């Protein structure tokens, strides 16, 4: 992976930042994409301190003009993009009867349409290179369902269908597409949950702990590595056994 370029959406913090650091420690140059330029710039600075090149790009993955600009900047800076990690994602939870159309659309636009738009632009670059690795971040709840997350679970299941279609359409161009489906991972988002919810969740995790951002990054790095060259259209579940 040394010397390759990875575009990581939502790379400013959380799981995306951990993936960026994990890849950077393996010599990959990193494009950090985030809606918040300050966070993207700060993280890109930390990545550069690991001895690789980095670039911060402010973009909303749900806007096609922003997404085109991500790949224009990436190619201008690094001439190529071997790896795309579609990690940017949001939640707007609520039971179906109370879920607004705005909350449905917001989650669809960022989690699912954003993955489509970024993949489409990446494929343009990767098809010319005849090499690419697309890694989409799904979620355990896209496979299990989850009360209060109709919009989110639909996008995360949708990401899996999209992954398999990219895998079929672009295998002949040397592009693989795979997904990582994290379970309960400790991030700022999950830290904020009440203790009683966290202890209930712990009961259904056979390995008896919440996941770390590095648990997810390791699975993403495997898909990005040459070792995964014969694997496409697949998912790795990183969930401590809560879904099998």
What are the tokens at 239? 């969930």
Query: Residues with Cβ < 8 Å from 17, sequence gap 6 or more?
Result: 11, 32, 43, 213
The DSSP secondary structure of 71-94, one letter per residue, reads: HHHHHHHHS---EEEE-------B
Task: State the DSSP code for 37.
Answer: H
Site string for ligand NAP, 159-198 (x = CB under 6 A): -----------------------x-xx-xxxx--------
Distances (CA, A) of 119 to 161, 216, 229: 13, 20, 18
DSSP H helices, 111-194, are 114-129, 141-144, 150-170, 188-191
- The correct pick among 135, 137, 150, 221 for binding ligand NAP (CB under 6 A) is 137
Q: Does 65 bind ligand NAP (CB under 6 A)?
A: no
- Residue 10 sits in the site that holds ligand NAP (CB under 6 A): yes
Provide the minimum distance between the beta carbon of 16 and ligand NAP in the complex, in angstroms, as a whole number: 5
The active-site residue out of 152, 170, 230, 243 is: 152
> Where is 174: in which H helix or E strand?
none
Where do we find the tokens 């359409």? 169
Nearer to ligand NAP, 175 or 180 (CB): 180
**Applying CB under 6 A, which of residues 34, 103, 121, 215 lies at the interface with ligand NAP?**
34
The verdict on 19 binding ligand NAP (CB under 6 A) reads no
DSSP 8-state secondary structure symbol assigned to residue 190: H
Q: How far is the CB of 90 from ligand NAP (least distance, A)?
A: 5
* Residue of the chain from 7, 14, 157, 223 that contacts ligand NAP (CB under 6 A): 14
The four Cα atoms 149, 18, 136, 221 give a dihedral, to 10 degrees, of -140
Does residue 152 have an active-site annotation?
A: yes
Judged by the rule CB under 6 A, the positions of this chain that interact with ligand NAP are 9-10, 12-16, 33-36, 39, 59-62, 87-90, 110, 137, 139, 182, 184-185, 187-190
List active site positions.
Answer: 152
């Amino acid at each position: 992976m040394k010397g390759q370029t990875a575009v990581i959406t939502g790379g400013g913090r959380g799981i995306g930042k951990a993936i960026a650091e994990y890849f950077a420690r393996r010599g990959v140059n990193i494009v950090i994409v985030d809606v918040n330029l300050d966070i993207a710039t700060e993280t890109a600075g930390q990545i550069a301190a690991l001895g690789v090149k980095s670039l911060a790009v402010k973009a909303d993955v749900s806007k096609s003009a922003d997404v085109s600009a991500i790949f224009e900047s990436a190619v201008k800076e690094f001439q190529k993009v071997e790896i795309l990690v579609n990690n940017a994602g949001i939640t707007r939870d609520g039971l179906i009867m109370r879920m607004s159309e705005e909350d449905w659309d917001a989650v669809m636009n960022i989690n699912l349409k954003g993955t489509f738009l970024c993949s489409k632009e990446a494929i343009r670059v990767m098809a010319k290179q005849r090499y690419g690795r697309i890694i989409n971040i799904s979620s355990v709840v896209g496979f299990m369902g989850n009360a209060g997350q109709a919009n989110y679970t639909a996008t995360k299941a949708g990401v899996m269908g999209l992954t398999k279609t990219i895998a079929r359409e672009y295998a002949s161009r040397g592009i693989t597409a795979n997904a990582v489906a994290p379970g309960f991972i400790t991030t700022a988002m999950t830290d904020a949950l009440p203790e009683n919810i966290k202890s209930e969740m712990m009961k259904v995790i056979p390995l008896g702990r919440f996941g770390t951002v590095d648990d997810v990054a390791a699975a993403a790095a495997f898909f990005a590595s040459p070792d995964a060259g014969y694997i496409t259209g697949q998912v790795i579940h990183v969930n401590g056994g809560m879904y099998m």
